[in-house]
Structure 1
């Protein structure tokens, strides 16, 4: 074997063992997709994804940060990481979800065994997607909250505050809640209203 041939074989081995996963994260060129794969995708896969998944995971809605309307978006994934592992359906989060192994997608009704088999076959063949040129659509940026917003009273844990006792009109209080009200009235320099008689209450 010549040195040049040895070098070529070593280069191929390097691609498979060290960089084999790199091809997973770029689009397959259209000329790499066979006519059979193209027909299978257009006849079986695209209609299935459109009917069962686009409502919650496409341009109009990206629940969980995930879009499934392109191969690139599936590879980018959502909050749980990449949705597919081309060539390995069992390692794909999408398959775990449609099989109801972890997540349950679609949540309303599990796909039929035939539909699950379609997605399984598609991913095993490398998840070919005609026309996908690798343009990943950025996920919508999640809102970040300021320290002031995160310190909003509704987000704080309950801590059992001690009712105030230094009050201008302690006799008005019947319970601990009244003590807090009376303290705020004092702060606003207001006097509690006198207790109404029964006739006034009945009106």
Structure 2
């Protein structure tokens, strides 16, 4: 079956990337999950940088995420701050050391080497196919998309700024390039057909 072959290819690519990730993080005394937490926090917006959002995005328990956050906080790769409106919520942000670590370790060298050997058109085509596959899997699993702000149904362009239609708050230009926990995808004909 063609679908099963696609699954096997994705699974094999994932195994190779995880192996490379384990090797890189072991050299600095971290686990891949720590890198995944940092990578997520580097990509998410200010509405999505909480313990719960990290757990949801990575599909991990809150306990596992809390332990990982404690390790990263002790190593001074991230810091916590209390939410201005709700004192029960903590926001997580990367420190300068955390940002440097992400820059040093991502993307994986093995992936960069492989990507450099295929054409730009092939990379774009594979990327689009994988994006569509991810969207379908998220829809079937009824999981959140965590998509880019600017691709969200709630994203609005006002006269002099960008705005989130859900929170009704202005967005910085940098916000529009980040992923959001509350992302609502705009309709995609490949994913949304019944």
TM-score norm. by structure 2 comes to: 0.23
Structure with larger Rg = 1
Larger relative strand fraction: 2
Larger relative helix fraction: 2
TM-score norm. by structure 1 comes to: 0.22
Does 1 or 2 have the higher relative contact order (CA < 8 Å, sep 6+)? 2
